[in-house]
Every structure is written in structure tokens, then in C-alpha cells.
A and B are shown apart, each in its own frame.
Chain A
């Protein structure tokens, strides 16, 4: 089975900073990659699908890129409301594996 590895596992940054989260697949998944945001105590929320397509209603400061095995989620200007854990997920075929998550905090 394909493994999904996220890095870093956590990060702390200042409001306004640009941050990047990486997700690596152990085998190629073309662009079958989604990103989710989960705020504390809340249900996961879809941010990006097909590696780079922004879900409707998601602020444009979020962006995704990559194809094959290496993917990134970028927040161009971190806001206080972006404090959350972010997960990538492969969905080319089952198992629909999630990455281990990246916890984002404000410095």
C-alpha cells in the first residue's frame, strides 16, 4: 500500500508568514491528492482537491501544488483562524490513506 508522509508534524509561525506543508507519497498518485483542515474539536473540512483545485469558499491564501509523489500546501499569509491540523489524503484507489497531519500554531 502507498504511504503518505507529511512534514513537518508541527510548526509555529507568526501572523502574516508564508508557510508550506509537504506531503510525500511512497508511489506516484498523479494528482489524486486532497488537503483537509481540522480545527480543534471540529469536523475535517476540505480545502483542496486534485492537488491544486481550491474548494469553493476556501480563502485564496490557501494553495496546493504538486504531482506524482510530492505535494505542498501553502498558506501565503497565515491568519489566526488558520490554527488547525492539516491532513493530506490520497484518493487514487483504496486504501484512501491520510498523512499523519501537520499542526499549525501561531508564534
Chain B
């Protein structure tokens, strides 16, 4: 059974940093592209970032480019999102999501999602 478990969320002041983790199990982690998707309170889904299975290709939404960094440790089956220079508008539930196929590519839909971790940016 595929499981994705996010952690690392919490309350942080504007300008601060936070690192999210997503522990994966139940599939060959290194074979799948992975993404982070966020949802601000009462708002829609926003794709944030994606990384290929090897980690060699990364992509970002314009809203986070230059502030967030996606990475993965395939030896630990874990996906990360380093978030710097956080703003109030980054307040959201952050989900990790798994690409559907074992292609390692990022241009795939999401068959599995984690339960999400809440990030609150406030002074």
C-alpha cells in the first residue's frame, strides 16, 4: 500500500524558514516523479514544485521560485521542500503527491496524495 506521510509544518514568522519532509513507502520511490501541492485556507489547489525520480530535474511555480527548493533522498525514500523567505501568503496545507507511473518523469497526474502538513506564516 502506497503511503505518503508529510511532516515539518508549523508556525513560522514572516521571513523565516521551514523544511518539509514526505516519507514514502509501498512503492519504488526512486522510480517516481514527486510533487508538492499546497492549498491555502478556503482556497484551491496550487502546484508548487516537482522533482524527477533521479532528482536531476526540478521545477517550480513562479510564486515560489528562488525561495523554495525541492529535493529527495532516494536512499531514505524521502522527499523534501526547503522553504525560505516565507510570506503570509505561503500559509497553506502542503501535500506531497506521487506521479502515477514508474517513469521517473514529472509530467504525470497524481494517483496518491499524503494527508498534508499545515504551514502557518504569521508574526
Contact = CB atoms under 8 A, between A and B. Distances in A.
A contact face: mostly helix, strand, loop, or mixed: loop
Contacts of A97: 47
B45 interface: yes
Interface stretch (A16-24, A41-49, A75-83): A41-49
A95 interface: yes
Interface residues of A, number: 24
B: interface residue count bin: 20 to 34
A43 B47 contact: no
A35 to B, nearest CB: 9
Contacts of B108: 91
A93 B107 contact: yes
Interface string B38-52: 000000111100100
Nearest to A45: B113
A91 to B, nearest CB: 5
Nearest to A46: B111
Given A94-B50, A96-B35, A43 B113 contact: yes
A74 interface: no
Interface of A: 1, 32, 34, 36, 38, 43-44, 46, 49, 55, 85, 87, 89, 91-101
Interface of B: 35, 37, 44-47, 50, 59-62, 95, 100, 106-111, 113-116
